[in-house]
Structure 1
Amino acid sequence: MELLSAMTALGAHAQFTISGVVDTSAESVTTGDPGKKKTQLSSGTATGSRVVFEGKGKMGGELTPFARLELGLNSDTGQLLNGPNANFGRTAIVGLESSKWGRVALGRTGAPMIPMLNQTDFGGIGYYGNNSGISQNIISRASNGIFYTSQAMDGLTLRAAVTAGEEKDTPPRDQGRMMGLGASYQAGKLNLAGAYQTSKERIAKTSAPASSDMAVDDQIEMGFGGRYDFGWVLVNAGWFKIKQVTWAADRDKAIPSNNTTSSWMGAVFPVGQSGRLGLQIGETKGDLSVAGLPKPKGTTMGAYYNHSINKEASVYINYGQVNNNAGSQLSLSSGNWASRLTPQVKGSDPSALAIGVIYAF
């Protein structure tokens, strides 16, 4: 009775919702390496499978307290996500919101770069061939942070983030500390977005044998782009640059260069009342020089058709491919970054064909 009374009292002063998405697909995929083709069920190809818990309270006046937890799932196995997004690693924030001043959140959530990529992609950073794979964005979500989002001001929304990084009590104490800024502008059918992020990263080798060099430097990511809805077609485009400072052997094989630049353009066509056809192409280039090999360059292509069954459910078919030159190992990514297809051999061309179902609740 005491618990029931407490829940009743809470309900009188707060709103609590549970929502989510389940996205599961049957796929034929390959990294392009010899003997590395397989069929599989996968999760999150078009959008991440997740359960979202969200609460909002009432304080009176301008301020509204809120909290949001996102539990990422592998819907093909029923298990939780692995890696940094495991458990509630997609989002775990609490904060205050004002209709006048905007929102301040503390915890772990998307970095300022995510809205920029989301608003300039043909599928909202979903499907094989999306701009997260083209850009190879390094920091998409950040922990131990303070995040600010302004209210829209004549179409302009500002974002900022600062994090405490790895919170080490031994050198390098500032490793992983990130600062980011972002902005988006919407006017009618036009949407523009940009973001800049910098993080403190160790420049010496971190794997065994351990180095005594504890110096860090600024790793930088920046990007901008936009989209325009003509009615019969929505077009999108973007540009992205990464400056890496980490030890070469510690980097993702897909982006070994000190400087990597990418660009993309896409289009989404409405098909009847319930369908949409998305097409996108992008190019990713690096400055790594290896004797006898060209500088890394990969061309990514993606296409999908999504058909809505009703407001909650849809089905889709999606194909994506990366054409790597002899010096490149660019990966192909779906909406589930953890399941990206990364070649182990330079020059291999990853590809994927997926047929899936999405249900939102």
Structure 2
Amino acid sequence: MKKRILAGLMVSTFTAPAFAQNSVTLYGLIDEGFDYTNNVAGGKVYELQSGYAQGSRFGLKGAEDLGGGLKAVFQLENGFNVNNGKLGQGGLMFGRQAYVGISSSQWGSVTLGRQYDSVVDYLAQTTANGNWAGYLFSHPYDNDNTDNSFRVNNTVKYTSPEIAGLQFGGTYSFSNDTNFANNRQYSVGAQYTNGGLLLAAAYLQANNPSATAGGAINNGGDENFVGSKLRIFGAGASYTFGSANVGVSYTNTYVANPTTSGYVGDITLPTGTLSSLRFQNFEIDGKYQFTPAFYVGAMYTYTRTDFNSAAGKLNPSYEMVGLMADYNLSKRTDVYLQGAYQHVGGDRTGTVLDFAFVPGADNVSSTQNQVVARVAIRHKF
């Protein structure tokens, strides 16, 4: 009897905060699979890897009714590696998201904390990697952040309500530095939906990204391309008709005075420092839902790159093809198979960027080609 009373008191203790809220939800996702890469520095690699179609995570989110149509909202979301239990996003406790704010069905929401930028919120969903495919289908080095290579810290975000199919928003991320513009970020984006049609566009700019640990884009696990300025913009569309969905997107990434990549390190030219680096990504993708439990998808991306330096301009190019099949074993569990191929062509630069590197591969290929294949299981709770 004493054990039953004690158990009842413990349950009451841990559930009491939930009753004080309108809703508090614990949720998560585990994505774990086997990867094969045909060329990593000249050798084959077989490995277990976590979080490719979607990043492995767990989190808490909730809302409290404040009256007058207002709600207090929050979300804390952790990323982790299933294989070794380590924290993701550079070892941050809640590296995926951590914010609190106020929401109104009439006026929209304002949230404060570590959050997604407008490229991720609006534009990414028109790409295969930002929608149904994930990491392996990212554009080279995830240069446009449509696969969330970085989140933005110290961020104030506004998200509008949906108005006749239109929704828009923006972010401003403080540098938290005596130099106001040193490692700050701002972005805007919008989307329009009408039946099966989705149109989206976004713009992002960061000054001295990853220059500091405490700024908008930290230097402990959020690096994209490091330089004096990062600018990303683009637009995309997708259309669903019956069991089929097709999408097209264009993104443009510009980095001033680039020095390193968060994926492959130093990118300095043998002939001198780069004055600027630009990626233009053109993607077409499609998905067909054969049954409610089974779909197949494919994508093709062509990326043109501009290397600008005092020695002149060079134009490498990247082509990527991806295929994916996914089967739901239940409402919460699915298995999937993916394959991605990348070829690097055009001008040779003398940097590591001359060699193929599929995002998610163990490391850079020794040639201009690389193939990665993955079979995995994903469970949501």
What pairs up with 1:86-125 in 2 under 5 angstroms?
A: 86-123=92-129, 124=131
**1:34 aligned residue:** 42
AA partner of residue 93 (structure 1) = Y
Aligned-pair CA distance for 1:90: 0.4
Confirm or deny that 1:18 pairs with 2:26.
yes
**1:66 aligned residue:** 73
Confirm or deny that 1:163 pairs with 2:173.
yes
> Residue deviations 1:307-340, cap 9 Å, x none?
011110100000011111263345322xxxxx45
Change over 3 Å in CA distance of 1:255–1:329 after alignment to 2:
farther
Q: 2:174 touches 2:180 (CA, 8 Å); kept in 1?
A: no
Change over 3 Å in CA distance of 1:202–1:45 after alignment to 2:
closer
- Consecutive unaligned residues in structure 2, runs of 5 or more: 1-8, 212-226, 268-275, 349-353
**Equivalent of residue 280 in structure 2, options 258, 261, 267:** 261
AA partner of residue 179 (structure 1) = Y
**1:336 aligned residue:** none
**Equivalent of residue 275 in structure 1, options 287, 294, 297:** 294
Aligned-pair CA distance for 1:12: 4.0
Q: In 2, Cα distance between the equivalents of 1:331 and 1:23? A: 22
Confirm or deny that 1:183 pairs with 2:190.
yes
The size of the alignment, in residue pairs, is 339
SS in 1 for 2:16: helix
> Residue deviations 1:239-275, cap 9 Å, x none?
0101111343567659965222111001001123311
> Residue deviations 1:52-77, cap 9 Å, x none?
11121121111100110111011122
Aligned-pair CA distance for 1:344: 6.5
Q: In 2, Cα distance between the equivalents of 1:187 and 1:148? A: 23
| Stretch moving more, 280-289 or 153-162 | 280-289
Aligned-pair CA distance for 1:342: 4.8
Q: In 1, Cα distance between the equivalents of 2:88 and 2:202? A: 27
**1:359 aligned residue:** 379
TM-score (structure 2 length as normaliser): 0.80
Confirm or deny that 1:332 pairs with 2:332.
no
Q: 1:33 touches 1:348 (CA, 8 Å); kept in 2?
A: no
AA partner of residue 343 (structure 1) = V
Q: In 2, Cα distance between the equivalents of 1:168 and 1:63? A: 33
Q: In 2, Cα distance between the equivalents of 1:258 and 1:271? A: 41
**2:86 aligned residue:** 79
Q: 1:128 touches 1:320 (CA, 8 Å); kept in 2?
A: no
Q: In 1, Cα distance between the equivalents of 2:127 and 2:165? A: 20
Aligned-pair CA distance for 1:350: 2.6
Identical aligned residues as a percent:
23
Confirm or deny that 1:304 pairs with 2:324.
yes
Q: In 2, Cα distance between the equivalents of 1:97 and 1:53? A: 17
SS in 1 for 2:337: strand
Q: 1:313 touches 1:358 (CA, 8 Å); kept in 2?
A: yes
Where relative contact order (Cα < 8 A, 6+ residues apart) is larger, the structure is 1
Q: In 2, Cα distance between the equivalents of 1:304 and 1:270? A: 12
**1:284 aligned residue:** 303
- Consecutive unaligned residues in structure 1, runs of 5 or more: 205-215, 334-338
SS in 1 for 2:122: helix
Q: 1:201 touches 1:246 (CA, 8 Å); kept in 2?
A: no
Q: 1:14 touches 1:56 (CA, 8 Å); kept in 2?
A: yes
Q: In 1, Cα distance between the equivalents of 2:266 and 2:284? A: 20
AA partner of residue 195 (structure 2) = G
Aligned-pair CA distance for 1:122: 2.6
Q: 2:259 touches 2:266 (CA, 8 Å); kept in 1?
A: no
**2:238 aligned residue:** 227
Q: 2:77 touches 2:98 (CA, 8 Å); kept in 1?
A: yes
Q: 1:134 touches 1:300 (CA, 8 Å); kept in 2?
A: no
Q: 2:281 touches 2:302 (CA, 8 Å); kept in 1?
A: yes
